Amino acid sequence: MGLQDEYLRNFTVLMTEKGVVPLTDPMQIAVYNSLCAGLKRPSDIATELGVPSSSLHFVLDKMVDAGIIIRSKPDPDKKSVYYSNLALKIAGSFEPDDAAKEEAEDTFNDPARYYSGMSSVANMLDSYTSEIGLDMDRMRANYASDLADAVRDRIGKCGMEDAIVRIMKEFSDITGFKFSVFALNPLTLVFEGDRCMRSKVDMLATFVVRAIENSSGRTYHIVGREDFSNGELARVKVSFDRAEKVPEPYINMSLPQTSEVHPFMMVDLDGTAGLMTSSIQIDIVDAVYERPLCITDIVNKVNSPRSTITSNLLRMVEEGVISVFYSESGSAYYGLSCSILMKKTRPVNRDSYEISMLLGDVSARKGAFMEGYLRYTMTTLKNYGFDSDYMMVVLGAKYMRAAGRGQPKNFDIFFGKMSDIAKTIGLSLNVVSVYPLTIGINNDNADSEMSSAMTFVKGMAHQGLEMASSGIFVRSSEDTPETRNISFREIYPALSMTPVEGIRVEELADAAPAKKKRTSSVKTALKNRSAKENGRPARTVRYITGVVMLVFVAAILLISAGGDDNSADGDTFTVYGDAGFSDFTLIEDDGTELQIPLSVDANTQVSFTIMSDSVIGIGTVSNGVATAMQPDSDGRYTITVSSDLELQTLYPVSLPETGNYTAYIYSFDDKVSEKYAYNFAGYIDAVTYAEVSGGLWVNSHGAVKIQTDDGFYISDTEDKTDSVFIQKIVSLDPTVPDFHVREIKSNFITIDFSGDYIIDGRYVSGELKVGMWKQIAGLFVSTDGPVTITSTDASGDVRNINLTEGKFRFYTGNEDLKITFNQKELI
């Protein structure tokens, strides 16, 4: 995943058979959204999205490999291949509108206007997610459907008219709203309630539709919606039409998950939902979550090289994730300026007992619909492996900012505001001690689940204290089911609470950097941060595209030719390095360490040597070819910076010394799977590759394909009695493991494998030569979905091959075979 993916504002989070994964590629998101409508052929998807079919196939293969979509042939007699979704959407992003922001402002200014208790917090959550563009529609629909299932037995089985009457009563009791029947054919309902009901009509209509399906067996979907609201009274007419039940994608929940969880984090960046995927930057956020730290403290907490921390910190300052605070002595401290919404840290918990219990509780209480939504959302996110308490802290802090706006800096006033909202949601506050300041939170309703509310008040109290005192505080808490005591301690009294604005950076003194030490400074990062387009940083850190790579190659040529540069004087450019740069050190001619990313004026010449324990090279990648920079006799590299550049770590390709094969090489922009690399059609033969690049180098995402000559095969053992004749392998390691190339001397047949398989530990797809009358064992890896595998010989005889947990075994004869798989169950 490239650096451009670290602060994505266009993302989707999916539940797959392999666990919860973020979908970040715009094309893959578009394909997934397209397939939400059902089965489609590749040509249909390409036409809909307006992309060439040749480009789309690579995207589809990646998504199949990731378990996001599935490939199938509904009619085995036809060549048509179809794709459908194999993942469920958990959350995503969308572009918020002004109406949602205005509604959120009204909600936080007066949260007790329409709701009391936990329902008021739930309403704030609902308004806030709409305001920042966090799509929770799937979870909202799931909650409404599951809640309707919880009252199924009370409604019972009956005809359509009786069902409507019974559902009306349940609906009114649980939601506090009501609906009336405008027409039965087509079914048209009018929902009535207060003005905040309008944003919840989708959940309310889903509840009714599901309840009708449970009681009468009829399935409906929404076809129209008209808003006749007036002032405080909301009245929305919703039209429905009969429809076939559309099953959700089949996910085999019995498959084991990997114990390793790749964390990612949802954050609020400048009022917009974003996704962070860089593990090092997530660690930095965790380090400064409670208090601002100097860079030395961050290095010690994160336990990474200082150069890595520095480069990432400055990128985070530019993007608005981190703010810079200055002490009276001028030292820089780094604190969090975004809001963490949730963080993926654990595998999925498949136990639904807690969900079932809370649905039963909500369905039995009057007016508990919104409280149930909050509890359902928090519990579901927890089951998906998210730490979601962050969201409650953010809501509490946001309410306090709204309530305390324009108030004098007086703790008594802010404590009064805190107490008012705490009372509204069923809690009470008291000051336990003055030093350290400790606030006690008590649950006044022992029958209600209030852990989320206590976390909400914790965030509110912390925000209120800092607003009242203009200080920076760190908190700690002691919890019991009934009470929570939160202690606050002020830190850095001389530290400015207000982050330095980019417009004021010219007034700042640098934090005494070492003389002659060329680095991407805080001041430069703040300047870049101050330059915004549509409220977002105009300058962001991204991987260089292929076009810019060509510009960089031209810059390398200018080093030797001494050509003129047409860049305007006064411009500042940045040299970036890939992740591998954290493993070695760049030293300038005067012995000082060179920090990457590096910001310099246009046409600046930079010279450095590399200190590393491993044999590496640096250079650029263009059109799949890695070109290494060549140092002088003293090991010094020299570049002239005339544009933003990216240097990549390169690795020498090592090929076995044997004949009768051809090597092909390609340096990919991002990490690819073995399946993708195996089927990739754009490899460059090693001879041509060396002529273009001047050597055999690849970047960290490079791959090497080995293809034997006709009549030869690849063998890993000294045994010359092989029965499987592999003729193509792909290595994602630049040092290709040793192998033998032997001539095929025994009688063989050709098997045409449709799909993806592992045979003799090697990835196989397409034609494979094997010995006659041999036993072949393998593993089917095309998809995790339920399938059947068959073999067809040259005479047309078809045999079923037993498949157990993806493993199979069969015997060859003396005729060529075709192995195919078919989707057994597509639901």
Specify whether the CB–CB gap between 802 and 736 falls below 8 A: no
What whole-number distance in Å separates Cα of residue 402 and Cα of residue 168?
37
515 pLDDT band, cuts 50/70/90, is very low
Q: Tell how far CA 78 is from the center of its chain.
A: 37
| pLDDT on residue 542 | 28
DSSP code per residue over 265-322 = EEEEETTEEEEE--HHHHHHHHHTSSS-B-HHHHHHHHTS-HHHHHHHHHHHHHHTSE
- Residue of higher predicted confidence among 266 and 74: 266
Cα torsion at 31, 33, 36, 39 (round to 10°)? -20
425 pLDDT band, cuts 50/70/90, is confident
pLDDT tens-digit series, residues 261-298 = 678 899 998 888 989 888 899 999 999 988 888 888 99
Token pair of 387 as six digits: 């730490």
What does the mean pLDDT of the chain come to?
Answer: 80
Burial class (CB in 10 A: 0-12, 13-18, 19+), 519: buried
pLDDT at 826 over 60: no
- Residue of higher predicted confidence among 21 and 464: 21
The answer to which of 44-53, 276-285, 438-447 has the lowest mean pLDDT is 438-447
pLDDT tens-digit series, residues 99-134 = 888 888 888 888 888 888 788 889 999 999 999 999
Percent of the chain residues past pLDDT 90, beyond the cut: 24
pLDDT at 513 over 50: no
- Residue of higher predicted confidence among 488 and 662: 662
Token pair of 157 as six digits: 């089985």
pLDDT tens-digit series, residues 739-764 = 888 888 778 899 998 888 888 888 88
Phi, psi of 173 (to 5 degrees): -65, -45
CA distances from 810 to 636, 770, 771, 776, 778 (A): 60, 12, 13, 5, 9
H helix or E strand, kind and range, residue 83: strand 82-85
Burial class (CB in 10 A: 0-12, 13-18, 19+), 101: middle
Number of neighbouring beta carbons within 10 Å of residue 566 = 7
The answer to which of 479-493, 541-555, 716-730 has the lowest mean pLDDT is 541-555
pLDDT at 511 over 50: no
Q: Tell how far CA 482 is from the center of its chain.
A: 36
Q: Which residues of 280-290 are buried (b: 16+ CB within 10 A; e: fewer)?
A: ebbbbbbbbeb
Report yes or no on whether pTM surpasses 0.75. no
Token pair of 293 as six digits: 């730290």
Number of neighbouring beta carbons within 10 Å of residue 75 = 8
pLDDT at 481 over 70: no
pLDDT at 436 over 80: no
Which regions of 186-264 does DSSP assign to beta strands (E)? 187-194, 220-227, 233-242
Using alpha carbons, select from 731, 798, 729, 735 the residue that is nearest to residue 758. 729
What whole-number distance in Å separates Cα of residue 400 and Cα of residue 457?
9
Mean pLDDT, residues 488-505: 45
551 pLDDT band, cuts 50/70/90, is very low
Using alpha carbons, select from 332, 657, 797, 366 the residue that is nearest to residue 525. 332
Specify whether the CB–CB gap between 622 and 550 falls below 8 A: yes
Mean pLDDT, residues 258-263: 65
| pLDDT on residue 517 | 35
pLDDT tens-digit series, residues 408-421 = 777 777 788 888 87
Token pair of 322 as six digits: 């981190």
| pLDDT on residue 495 | 45
Token pair of 784 as six digits: 């995790």
Specify whether the CB–CB gap between 82 and 72 falls below 8 A: yes
What whole-number distance in Å separates Cα of residue 541 and Cα of residue 315?
6
Token pair of 686 as six digits: 């090693």
Token pair of 650 as six digits: 């390169």
| pLDDT on residue 739 | 84
Mean pLDDT, residues 312-316: 86
Q: Backbone dihedral region of 367: left (phi > 0), alpha (psi from -120 to 50 degrees) or beta?
A: left
576 pLDDT band, cuts 50/70/90, is confident
pLDDT tens-digit series, residues 195-214 = 889 889 999 999 999 999 99
The answer to which of 73-87, 162-176, 198-212, 701-715 has the lowest mean pLDDT is 73-87
| pLDDT on residue 381 | 92
pLDDT at 323 over 50: yes
Q: What is the residue type of 728?
A: K
Q: Residues 442-447: contacts with CB within 8 Å, 24+ apart?
A: 442/482, 442/483, 443/481, 443/482, 443/483, 445/117, 446/482
